[in-house]
Amino acid sequence: MSIDSNAKATDTLLETLCNYHSKIDDEETRHMVIAALSKVIEDLEEPFDLLMRLANSANMTPLIKVGYQLGVFKALSNSPTPLTLGQLCEPTKADARLVNRVLRYLSANRFINEVDKGQFSASKMTHCLADARLEGGVNIYYGVIDPMLHELPAFLERRNYQDGVGNPCVFNAAANTDLTFYDWLKTKPEMVQDFQKMLSLQLMAISTSVRAVDWLSVIPFPKAVDPSDGPVFVDVGGNMGDRCLELLGRYPQFKGHVIVQDLEEVVKFAPAMDGAEFQGYDFFTPQPVQGARYYYLRTILHNWDDDRSVEILRNLVPALGPNSQVLIDEMAVPNTKAHIWPSVQDLLMMMTFGARERTLDDWAVLLGRAGLKIVDIKPYAPVMRTSIIFAERS
């Protein structure tokens, strides 16, 4: 086949692939297609291609950070027409030769479009990068996660390649601090805002995922509650009660049967919620609420190693009544062939907190140690495998 014929066939294939995405109607299939296309890239690569791809992946976060500092993404996203190099240099008075080099890199990675010499416009990714929530995430990756990744090989070598759980963890070495991540974060007000923005983007991604199931819909709540009945839902470590607010919006009949528990210094700042009681509670102490239908822990245990997680769970067990269940809202990572997202998240938990995202087998062992058994696992985010794990007293 001639070069021209190859080019034409390639163009046809690319056009077909570009049009195919509009026909994908669920999140799981979308990620299967992404994985398949990634494998095609890998099959086409020679060793030097792989090296350059790895080098490029290391460049991305710092260069996107520079793009934010120059105001490139918001400027292009807000402009209905292409902007010149001079227009993009003007706000910061940056050297045009330097900015052009940065823009060349961003364009080569399709973060922006280069429409002509010295003229640039927004791509799909430009509009994404102009979102303040994504900018917050990039700032966290650049300021916190990238330094941990650089520290990781030496940290593991010093520990003779033992599992990186417990403290001090990689974060402590990378940030040169004895503080935990959250205590350290309190000393960085701007980074607190970035962290909150990143979390809001993550929650939005989960809630708007095409095949993500509403977390409330996988829990079999009773249709009615007698006034004499005890609590239906105890949100352990529930912070400001966002989950309970959702619950009461869906099931207003549960008003007066919902409790949000967190540390005293947290709940004293919680806004009043009609139908919910806020209760100061440390989950390393015995659970004071007896016989509730559900004790709910959302993204609590992945912050703690196994021993501390068992301690948290054991404090719940004596409070369980004959119909009580513990609901754990966390990732339940498949034992084999896990998606890259939960795999990355697991390493982030190890580096930042000395903790982990747990596999199905991990959960069974952990709950067994606490005197509990798994009776069901219902995923509601198909890619991240975020699930409600139903557990009862053994």
Q: For position 323, what pLDDT does the model report? A: 92
- Give me the CATH code for the 215-393 domain, please: 3.40.50.150
Return the minimum-mean-pLDDT range out of 4-8, 268-272, 307-311: 4-8
Q: For position 33, what pLDDT does the model report? A: 79
Rounded Cα–Cα distance for residues 301 and 171 (Å): 19
Residue 381 has pLDDT above 90, yes or no: no
Asked if the domains at 3-129 and 215-393 fall in one CATH topology, the answer is: no
pLDDT grade for 25, boundaries at 50, 70 and 90:
low
258 touches 231 (CB < 8 A): yes
Q: For position 40, what pLDDT does the model report? A: 83
What is the overall mean pLDDT for the chain?
A: 90
User: Domain spans of the chain?
Assistant: 3-129, 132-208, 215-393
Q: For position 170, what pLDDT does the model report? A: 96
Contacts of 53 (CB under 8 A, 6+ apart): 45
Mean pLDDT value across residues 78-106: 98
Looking at the annotation, which residues are catalytic? 302
Q: For a pLDDT cut of 70, what percent of the chain falls above it?
A: 90
Give the helix ranges, DSSP H, for the chain. Answer: 3-20, 27-44, 47-70, 72-78, 85-89, 96-108, 124-129, 132-140, 146-158, 170-175, 181-185, 189-208, 242-250, 264-267, 306-314, 340-353, 360-369
121 touches 82 (CB < 8 A): yes
- Give me the CATH code for the 3-129 domain, please: 1.10.10.10
Bond before 168 cis per omega within 30 degrees: yes
Please give the model's pTM, rounded to 2 decimal places. 0.80
Give the 3-state secondary structure of residue 124.
helix
Mean pLDDT value across residues 354-358: 91
Residue 212 has pLDDT above 70, yes or no: no
Residue 229 has pLDDT above 60, yes or no: yes
Residue 210 has pLDDT above 50, yes or no: no
Contacts of 239 (CB under 8 A, 6+ apart): 260, 262, 266, 270
Q: For position 164, what pLDDT does the model report? A: 63
Q: For position 23, what pLDDT does the model report? A: 63
Amino acid at 198: M
Q: For position 205, what pLDDT does the model report? A: 64
